[in-house]
Amino acid sequence: MCNQTKELGKNPLFLIHAFFFLLFFSVPALNHFNLRLPALDFGIANQAMFSYAGFNDYPSTLILQREQMPYLSLHFSLWVPILSPFSYVFGSYTLLVFQSLALVFAGFYLVKIAKYVQIKNNIIPFLLIQFYSIWAIYAAISDGFHDNTLAACFVPALFLGFLKTEKKLIIIAFVGILISKENMAIWMPALLVSFLISSNQLQKLWKFIGLLLLIDLFYFLLVTQLIMPALNPTGKFEQIDRFSHLGNSIKDIIIYILSHPVDMFKMMFFSHIQPDEMENIKHEFWLVLLASGFIAVIFRPSLIIAFLPLLFQKLWNKEVVFWGINYHYGIEMAPLLSIALILMITRFHSVKIKWILVSLAVFFSTYTTYSKMQNRLSVWYDDKKENIFSSKHYTSNINIKSLDDMLSLINSTDKVSCNSGLVPHLANRKEIFLFPRIENQCKLILLKDCSDVYPLSQEDYKKEIAAISTAAIFGYQYKGFHFAKIAENNDAILYQVKP
């Protein structure tokens, strides 16, 4: 056993996997510890996880300006209930642990792909570093847990299944991707067709893949047209609202796309509203994508099929936040970029050319990620959360120890209203609300100096704190509630809310 451990320690692939697992966990874990991860979506996922862990299905109470609704009506992600038992071990960090493991799982199967296509062993560690350096990974993990990150991590296993014509592996990866999120079923046909052609296994697998495509269609219609609307109090599939500029239903959107091909092509690079200075965000995304390895798709054009739904979903969206390189809206592209790089290298026989290509890929991927951590056009970028090269990422202006003492005054059965960064820590309860929503008989804890005051502006947030403080001092009602101060320190104030 001791000798096996020593051998692992000498294995460069193991060391790379281990280092990046720790890095991928530390980025969101530090942000969680320092109260930087948002109520939307990480707080919502944590509340659902704790609910399922207790064999309950409490509706999410964190939806802004809408009725409470079950987690699965927001996103049909089955990984949260599947992983929920582990919350008894890892607590509010559970989803972050498994997200980090999933990324290493993806790296493990990329190595298997490289070995299967007979890339030399001394090149493979650099291919792995290239994948682990892609900007999309850091953009996703810095904002907490995202179910489509887990979906992306099954993509290398799916492609290896095609290469080896292993139907069992294809099925496992197919299910792993499909249950991650409802929109993965939209991506799946393109992914299957792209991999079927790219792996040169059309004759052997076309019937099997045809069956999977039918299953995928049935699953998509079942989830989006029956299950999610049935769980949603509004009776709608609300994710479609992001494309309301194209139509009010899936049918209308498809008709618009097919009847306006030139406009849809332009929308890949420019805003649907003209003039719009925000369209520079799309241009930045394209530059980053090319620098991160997209140019390798030229050598296996069939892979573009797998990219297209991701690009359409991202760039045809009416919400600016989807267009750029922030958050998790590009994570599915990361394994595709590395697969494209691996397949490109196999096209060359010269070892020297292979080394040049891999070296350029590693350089451009790492440099692009590093430079965009320092500065970017995409709006709402928070370098404290993502820039691992900045000292600000590792520090906080909040005394976490004194804040923990205050949080100990809140019981697990208490209703709570609080700031966004506190929500994931306090999500293990039936009812938790994102301030400024306040409910009767809840405990209200507010940070005095808070950078994330969503959905309020900083000015409005300070006004709310002042108004509640004044109401508590003089004993009058504010917004129909009385506020009794329970505790206060330099960082936060805890109130009991009464009618």
pLDDT digits (tens, 9 = 90+) for 108-141: 999 999 999 999 999 999 999 999 999 999 999 9
Tell whether the model's pLDDT for residue 162 goes beyond 60. Answer: yes
Tell whether the model's pLDDT for residue 2 goes beyond 70. Answer: no
Tell whether the model's pLDDT for residue 1 goes beyond 80. Answer: no
pLDDT digits (tens, 9 = 90+) for 12-38: 999 999 999 999 999 999 999 999 999
Mean pLDDT value across residues 75-90: 96
- Of all helices (H) and strands (E), which one includes residue 498? strand 492-498
Residue 392 is which amino acid? K
Q: Is residue 442 within 8 Å of 433, Cβ to Cβ?
A: yes
Residue 101 has phi, psi (to 5 degrees) of -65, -40
The pLDDT, as a whole number, for residue 8 is 52
Rounded Cα–Cα distance for residues 305 and 295 (Å): 14
> Sorting pLDDT into bands at 50, 70 and 90, what band is 49?
very high
The pLDDT, as a whole number, for residue 379 is 82
Q: Is residue 263 within 8 Å of 247, Cβ to Cβ?
A: no
Rounded Cα–Cα distance for residues 168 and 172 (Å): 6
Residue 225 has phi, psi (to 5 degrees) of -100, -20
The pLDDT, as a whole number, for residue 65 is 62
Q: Is residue 239 within 8 Å of 182, Cβ to Cβ?
A: yes
- 171 C-beta neighbours (distance < 10 Å), count: 15
Q: Which of 398, 433, 404 lies closest to 418 in space, CA to CA?
A: 433
Confirm whether pTM is higher than 0.95: no
Mean pLDDT value across residues 399-424: 92
Residue 403 half-sphere exposure, CB side, CA atoms within 13 Å?
Answer: 21
Q: Is residue 86 within 8 Å of 46, Cβ to Cβ?
A: no
Contacts of 141 (CB under 8 A, 6+ apart): 24, 27, 28, 96, 99, 100, 103, 149
Rounded Cα–Cα distance for residues 276 and 114 (Å): 43
Q: How far is CA 81 from the centre of its chain?
A: 17
Question: In Å, what is the CA distance from 331 to each residue of 275, 307, 413, 494?
Answer: 29, 11, 37, 38
Mean pLDDT value across residues 40-62: 93
Strand order in the sheet with 492-498: 432-434, 415-418, 442-447, 492-498, 482-488
pLDDT digits (tens, 9 = 90+) for 325-356: 999 999 999 999 999 999 999 999 999 999 99
Structure tokens at 439: 């409910």
User: How high does pLDDT run on average in the chain?
Assistant: 92
- In this structure, the dihedral spanned by the alpha carbons of residues 120, 124, 125 and 129, taken in order and rounded to 10 degrees, is 150
The pLDDT, as a whole number, for residue 309 is 94
Mean pLDDT value across residues 379-383: 88
Structure tokens at 215: 């299953």
> Sorting pLDDT into bands at 50, 70 and 90, what band is 441?
confident
Mean pLDDT value across residues 91-103: 98
Q: Which of 193, 198, 187, 105 lies closest to 148 in space, CA to CA?
A: 187
Which of 135-144, 185-194, 445-454 has the least mean pLDDT?
Answer: 445-454
The pLDDT, as a whole number, for residue 236 is 62
Q: Which of 29, 5, 9 lies closest to 18 in space, CA to CA?
A: 9
Residue 133 is which amino acid? S
Contacts of 306 (CB under 8 A, 6+ apart): 187, 190, 191, 194, 195, 336
Structure tokens at 178: 């499909």
Tell me whether the omega of the peptide bond preceding residue 41 falls within 30 degrees of 0, making it cis: yes
- 29 C-beta neighbours (distance < 10 Å), count: 17
Structure tokens at 490: 């330099």
The pLDDT, as a whole number, for residue 307 is 97
pLDDT digits (tens, 9 = 90+) for 213-235: 999 999 999 998 899 888 887 76
**Exposed/middle/buried for 335, CB within 10 Å: 0-12, 13-18, 19+?**
buried
Q: Specify the DSSP class assigned to residue 60.
A: B
Residue 161 is which amino acid? G
Mean pLDDT value across residues 376-395: 92
Tell whether the model's pLDDT for residue 292 goes beyond 80. Answer: yes
Place of tokens 């923990």: 404
Rounded Cα–Cα distance for residues 479 and 458 (Å): 20
Length of the chain: 499
Mean pLDDT value across residues 172-184: 96
The pLDDT, as a whole number, for residue 84 is 97
> Sorting pLDDT into bands at 50, 70 and 90, what band is 459?
very high
Mean pLDDT value across residues 465-494: 93
Higher per-residue confidence, 379 vs 212: 212
Residue 404 half-sphere exposure, CB side, CA atoms within 13 Å?
Answer: 5
Tell whether the model's pLDDT for residue 4 goes beyond 90. Answer: no
Tell me whether the omega of the peptide bond preceding residue 309 falls within 30 degrees of 0, making it cis: no
- H runs (alpha helix) in 59-123: 71-74, 79-83, 87-90, 94-116
The pLDDT, as a whole number, for residue 66 is 61
Tell whether the model's pLDDT for residue 251 goes beyond 60. Answer: yes
